[in-house]
Amino acid sequence: MSITPAKIAIQDVYFTYGDGAEALRDISLDIYEKEIFVLFGPSRSGKTTLLRLLNRLSDLFEDATVRGTILFDGQDIFDYRVNVAGLRRRISMVFAVPTPLPGSIRDNLTYGLRMAGIRNERVLRERVERSLQQAALWNEVKDRLDKSAFALSGGQQQRLCLARSLALEPDVIVLDNPTSGLDPLSTESVEESLQDLKQRYTIIIVPHSVQQGSRIADRAAFLLDGELIEVGKATQIFVEPQDQRTEDYITGRFG
């Protein structure tokens, strides 16, 4: 990478849960604009914790302590002046388990927009259609936008959640294992839409598997026990990793 400034710069971040468990130790890495950045590692390696730090959903953990800084477009997200809701609109998150909200499909997509103060019906309608198309869901639901979101299949629900994030037109989309509950076909369509979305958004994703990670990544980082082992271009890290532990994990010797 040249000297493009990082979209998100994570600097010397430590994270300790309220019960004293240290989830992240001395993490530093840069994420650049309009790339797909893959965070991978075995379970309990701190991937999800790191993701939740980026949009400060980590605030929900009581008594947890964070050290270090995370800069988003050069701004410290832990600054007390930061509007957290605003931050979460710019760095939007999709979870491992689909989290549709009670209400219709349309409601799900407009919740965030309305809460951001967008009331114009025409704008809302446009955003609904565009975000559903971006999430490759439009054709399946266009005739039943006013039906309950819970009536959708798991894969559709997950794409709805992706669309819900996209409707906010964020800068960064954070996906925590978004295809965990999906069948191979839905997984493929999500992966395909990620490639399209890369044109416009910065995407940070915890993949379902190393294989998925290597399929979609531009750059990747390997986490192990809360420590950053290795970070680099996908062509390098998945092909000839520098660290023995990375290689062991990728080749399936543990994890």
Residues near other proteins (CB under 8 A) are: 55, 57, 60, 62-63, 84-89, 92-95, 97-103, 111-112, 115-116, 148, 150-151, 161, 164-165, 168
Nearer to other proteins among residue 161 and residue 250 (C-beta): 161
The DSSP line for 179-206 is TTT--HHHHHHHHHHHHHHTTT-EEEEE
Nearer to other proteins, 92 or 186 (CB): 92
Question: Which token pair is 196?
Answer: 């399209």
d(CA 117, CA 167): 13
Q: How far is the CB of 170 from other proteins (least distance, A)?
A: 9
CB of 21 vs other proteins, minimal distance in Å: 17
Beta carbon of residue 189, minimum distance to other proteins (angstroms, whole number): 21
Cβ neighbors of 79 (< 8 A, separation 6 or more) are none
The number of CA neighbours under 13 Å toward the Cβ of 234 is 16
If the CB atoms of residues 71 and 87 are measured against other proteins, the closer one turns out to be 87
Nearer to other proteins, 64 or 71 (CB): 64
Least distance between other proteins and beta carbon 81 (Å): 16
Q: What is the dihedral of CA 105, 109, 114, 118, to 10 degrees?
A: -130
Q: 134 or 246: whose CB is closer to other proteins?
A: 134
Least Cβ distance, residue 255 to other proteins (angstroms): 26
Cα angle for residues 50, 155, 122 (degrees, 5° grid): 90
